[in-house]
Amino acid sequence: MLAPQEIIEGLTRAVKGQRKRGFVQSVELIINLKDVDLKRPESRVTETVELPKGLGSRARRVAVIASGALVVEARKSANVDRVFEREEVEVLIGNKKAAKKLAREFDYFLVDTSLISLAARALGSALGFVGKAPVPVPSGADVDALAARYKRSVTIRVRKNPQACCVIGTEEMPIEHLTENAQAVLNRVVDKLPKRWANVESVHLKLAMGEPVKLSVKG
C-alpha cells in the first residue's frame, strides 16, 4: 500500500523538481500491475473515477445528446460544453469521418435514454475506437449535476496491457489536492484487483513532459 506522505513526497519531486515548460503540464499517475491475467474478463478494469479535487484547467469536455425538456435543461447548464439534438446526431449515421472527429472532441457523452440506440448507431463505433461509451442520463436526473461530476472525472482502462494510467490534475494545483486525487484513483483500481495491493508492481507520478518518480509500494 501507499501512505499519504509517500504520495505527497512523490508529487513534490515530480512537480516541483522538474524543469518548467512554457505551458501548464498535466500530472499523471501510472500504476503497473503484476500477476493479472488480462485474458480473463474479470481481471480487466474499466472505471470512471470522480476526482475529489477536480482536474483544474484539465476539466473534461462534456456533451449532451438530448430531446425535449432535457435540451432546455442542458443548454442552461454551465457544465455542459455542447448540446446535440436528434437531427444533429442522425446526420452522423454512416459518416465515419465526422463521427470520429466528434468522438475525439469530447471526453464524455451524456445521452437521453430515449436516444441511446440512435447514439449507438451514429457514434458507437467511433467512441469505441477511442475507448469511450455513451453515458445514459436516467429519467429525472439533474443533468447539470451529472455533467459537473463528469467534468471532474477520469476513466481508467486496463485491457491489453497490465497498466493503469490517467491524469490527476495539473502542476498548478496544490500538492494536497493532487494527493487526494491520486488516492481516489489508487483506491478504486486496487479494489478491483483480485489480490489488491499484491497485484501492484509499481506506482509512478510524473508531469506530462517530466521524468517519472517511482513510489515505494508495500504489498
pTM over the 0.75 mark: yes
Cβ–Cβ < 8 Å for 181, 53: yes
pLDDT in tens, 15-31: 987 778 889 999 999 99
Please give the CATH architecture assigned to the domain spanning 60-150: 3-Layer(aba) Sandwich (3.40)
What is the pLDDT at residue 219? 61
* Cβ neighbours of residue 97 closer than 8 Å, sequence gap 6 or more: none
Instruction: For cell 501492484, name the residue.
Output: 200
The ranges assigned to domains in the chain are 4-57+153-215, 60-150
Pairing type for strands 200-207 and 213-215 reads antiparallel
Q: Which residue has the higher pLDDT, 41 or 49?
A: 49
One fold for 4-57+153-215 and 60-150: no
H helices of the chain, in order, are 4-11, 69-76, 86-90, 96-105, 116-129, 143-151, 175-191
Cβ–Cβ < 8 Å for 143, 110: yes
* Average pLDDT of every residue of the chain: 93
For 178, the 3-state DSSP assignment is helix
pLDDT in tens, 166-209: 999 999 999 999 999 999 999 999 999 989 999 999 999 999 99
- Tell me, what DSSP letter sits at residue 13? I
Percent of the chain surpassing pLDDT 70: 100
pLDDT in tens, 106-157: 999 999 999 999 999 999 999 999 989 999 998 889 999 999 999 999 999 9
- Length of the chain equals 219
Q: Which neighbouring-strand residues pair with 156?
A: 47
- Cα gap 204→54, rounded to integer Å: 20
Please give the CATH architecture assigned to the domain spanning 4-57+153-215: 2-Layer Sandwich (3.30)
**How many CB atoms sit inside 10 A of residue 110's CB?**
25
- Cα gap 120→169, rounded to integer Å: 31
